[in-house]
Amino acid sequence: AKHGMSTEEMLKLHRDFLTVLKPLYLQLHTWAKYELAKKYGQPVPKAIPAHWINNRWSQEWTGMVEGVDFDAFVNKEKGWTSEKIVKTAESFFQSIGFPKLPESFWQKSDLYPVKPGDTRKKNSHASCWHIDLDQDVRSLMSVEPNFQWFGTAHHEMGHGYYQLAYSNPSVPPLLRDSATTAFHEGMAELMSLATRQVPYLKATGVLPAEYKADPIKVLLAEALETAIPFMYWGSGTMTEWEADFYAGNMPADQMNARWWKMVHDLQGVEPPSPRDEHYCDPATKTHINDAPGYYFNYNIAFVLKFQFHDYICKHILKQDPHAANYAGHPEVGKYLETWLKKGATEDWRKLLKDATGEELSTRAMAEYFAPLQKWLEKQNKGRQIGW
């Protein structure tokens, strides 16, 4: 309803995303399954066994590309602490022209893992909350010194700075919200996309100045970890399962069977061993429990982040979208501010058109990964594509 769309229209939007991206997904899926079969000394399967992938839902396929595993650079041994990650994220926002976070953010947030021996329970999945529709913005995280949390800390602060931007006298309290929930995630994801660009990682000391990687491998890792499999998980399994559960007629004794059929048909992944209705595997995902009917926003956000990034690189920074550095460019913050500060006072379609000159579209995402498609087709020549 917030998007001004029916359930059917929303489902069609996501199905269309997947149709457009399918040739690239098929190539990535094939590359990954041959790579993983080699690594584990197994015959090449049709669908990928879920336990071969580094994430229990197969939402991000990390650690597969040699030389582009950034966890080797963000860890305790390299001098990273949880505090340093959060402070680095705040410095990034200041360097693109945003103010310091309010003192209350630091006093009232809950940013680090529960200490050993402390018995309190805490949801360790990251979030960021607007408490008073004004300056009281707080984040719940459990930041640890690794690359995943490096990106997530930037993501959560993206939410915080959006909340602060629309807390201004021109926006009445009831409209102090994002243009749609997808735009909130879009801003957050844009910040995490910007901060995994190699030039930023060098500037901020994550990567050593002499770090060199094959650009196609960098693109491959980015596709696997932050873009394409995520679409088949989010626009695919999560959105279809929740639509079936809330708006369809999912029988109560089919909840797990439907889930794994979607995982298979849409993601090309299968469980390590057969699952049955003793389990409800979808409920392992925090959003299924505490953010019902929300997840599809992330996939619109993933599409949006490439549109905004493309616009920023081409029209503001005049940099290659594959190797950009926003840091030190307050004009980026100024541009973001133009739409962030509107909150929910404008229709999202108009806001997007005014901010990027475009409608919602996978164009920028497809263009970003176009060089990869050709490279993958070469690698996969003669291989069994699909499942």
Is 155 a residue that touches ligand X8Z (CB under 6 A)?
yes
Residues forming a β-bridge with 110: 140
Which partner, ligand X8Z, Zn ion, none, binds residue 195 by CB below 5 to 8 Å per kind? none
- Scanning 188-196, 212-220, 282-290, 348-356 for contacts with Zn ion by CB under 5 A, the matching segment is 188-196
User: What's the CA gap between 190 and 306, in Å, rounded?
Assistant: 7
For the bound state, the minimum distance from the C-beta of residue 155 to ligand X8Z, rounded and expressed in Å, comes to 5
| Alpha-carbon radius of gyration of the chain | 21
Is 142 a residue that touches ligand X8Z (CB under 6 A)?
no
Pick the closer one to Zn ion by CB: 305 or 329: 305
Location of structure tokens 């913050």 = 333
Which partner, Zn ion, ligand X8Z, none, binds residue 104 by CB below 5 to 8 Å per kind? none
Is 187 a residue that touches Zn ion (CB under 5 A)?
no
Tell me phi and psi for residue 367, to 5 degrees. -65, -40
Half-sphere exposure of 56 (CA within 13 A, CB side): 6
Is 298 a residue that touches ligand X8Z (CB under 6 A)?
yes
**Number of amino acids touching ligand X8Z (CB under 6 A):** 6
Taking the mean position of all CA atoms in its chain, how far away is CA 287? 14
Q: What are the tokens at 236?
A: 């695919």
Is 301 a residue that touches Zn ion (CB under 5 A)?
no
User: What's the CA gap between 50 and 264, in Å, rounded?
Assistant: 10
Which partner, ligand X8Z, Zn ion, none, binds residue 126 by CB below 5 to 8 Å per kind? ligand X8Z
Which partner, Zn ion, ligand X8Z, none, binds residue 362 by CB below 5 to 8 Å per kind? none
Q: What are the tokens at 194?
A: 């910007």
If DSSP codes are grouped into helix, strand and coil, which group holds residue 276?
Answer: coil
Is 61 a residue that touches ligand X8Z (CB under 6 A)?
no
Is 127 a residue that touches ligand X8Z (CB under 6 A)?
yes
Please report which residue ranges of the chain form alpha helices under DSSP H.
7-40, 82-95, 103-108, 147-165, 181-194, 198-203, 215-226, 228-231, 239-242, 255-262, 286-290, 296-311, 330-340, 348-356, 363-379
Pick the closer one to ligand X8Z by CB: 65 or 301: 301
Candidates 68, 126, 231, 304: give the one binding ligand X8Z (CB under 6 A).
126
Is 152 a residue that touches ligand X8Z (CB under 6 A)?
yes
Contact between 48 and 36 (Cβ < 8 Å): yes
Residue number of the CB atom closest to Zn ion? 188
Pick the closer one to ligand X8Z by CB: 231 or 376: 231
For the bound state, the minimum distance from the C-beta of residue 155 to Zn ion, rounded and expressed in Å, comes to 6
Q: Is the dihedral of CA 132, 103, 331, 313 positive or negative?
A: negative
Is 188 a residue that touches Zn ion (CB under 5 A)?
yes
If DSSP codes are grouped into helix, strand and coil, which group holds residue 286?
Answer: helix
Contact residues: Zn ion, CB under 5 A? 185, 188
Which residues contribute to the site for ligand X8Z (CB under 6 A)?
A: 59, 126-127, 152, 155, 298
